[in-house]
Chains A and B, each alone.
Chain A
């Protein structure tokens, strides 16, 4: 059985730290995602930290993203087209 770090069959807490950002962005490949989720399932301290990072990303979006009201969009669109 190949136990080189590249092929290791479980994740340590240090791997969670290494991959948390990619996990939050859903950018891990299937195998890493599975190992990641396996670890946080039994490691409560890591699970809490990962949940916090997910929430952090969500909060940035919720507090920064603003939708203009439709009437403002139309008004801006009109002025943009006028200046083309």
Chain B
């Protein structure tokens, strides 16, 4: 491989490497597959580098390759959560549950979020169906816009939005369940009139 081309490629990918690993890890659920997924992605990207148009969105381009590689080669091996119920997908789900919890009524509800462990949030995310997990990761963790996500996952804007909003609500539901199971909140509930 020509050294100059490699150097140019290394400079392009370096700022995105942490994000690619992090996303790959959350998508595959294990370090080994995440390493392979990133390696495969970058192998393909290097070979397709001529197709990348300079001064366009490299970050979105490389993530698109990551997502396609995940779907074609890794998705089947990932254990998916049991059938997800989309009932009870109300807006402000977590806020409302906390508001009904006696111990949380007098304190800012943001404290509950701040006190969660990183692993709680990662686990809740890992337990989303992969289409939802992917969109939440791209928007909330990696900061992509709706339009960029539509391009990355090759789906219409409406699909991006519905997966994102459902994903966030499912995430809140998981976190609420963990909070009860793990004793972060008391069992005393008082529905507000």
Contacts and interface: CB of A to CB of B under 8 A. Distances in A.
Contact of A73 (B14, B94, B109, B164): B14
B66 interface: no
Interface string A35-74: 0000000000000110111011101110111111000010
Interface in B103-158: 109-110, 113-114, 116-118, 120-122, 125, 136-137, 139-143, 145-146
B92 interface: yes
A67 B121 CA distance: 17
* Majority DSSP secondary structure for residues of B touching A: helix
B113 A76 contact: no
B88 to A, nearest CB: 15
A77 B13 contact: yes
B74 interface: no
Contacts of B64: none
Contacts, number: 99
Given A21-B168, A64-B118, A77-B14, A83 B43 contact: yes
B39 A83 contact: yes
Nearest to A52: B95
Question: How many of chain A's residues touch chain B, expressed as a range?
Answer: 20 to 34
A59 B160 CA distance: 21
Q: How large is the interface on B (under 10, 10 to 19, 20 to 34, 35 or more residues)?
A: 35 or more
Contacts of A84: 1, 6, 9, 42-43, 46
B17 interface: yes
Contacts of A29: none
Interface of A: 17-18, 20-22, 25, 27, 48-49, 51-53, 55-57, 59-61, 63-68, 73, 76-77, 80-81, 83-84
Interface of B: 1, 6, 9-10, 13-14, 17-18, 21-22, 26, 38-39, 42-43, 46, 91-92, 94-95, 109-110, 113-114, 116-118, 120-122, 125, 136-137, 139-143, 145-146, 161, 164-165, 168, 171-172
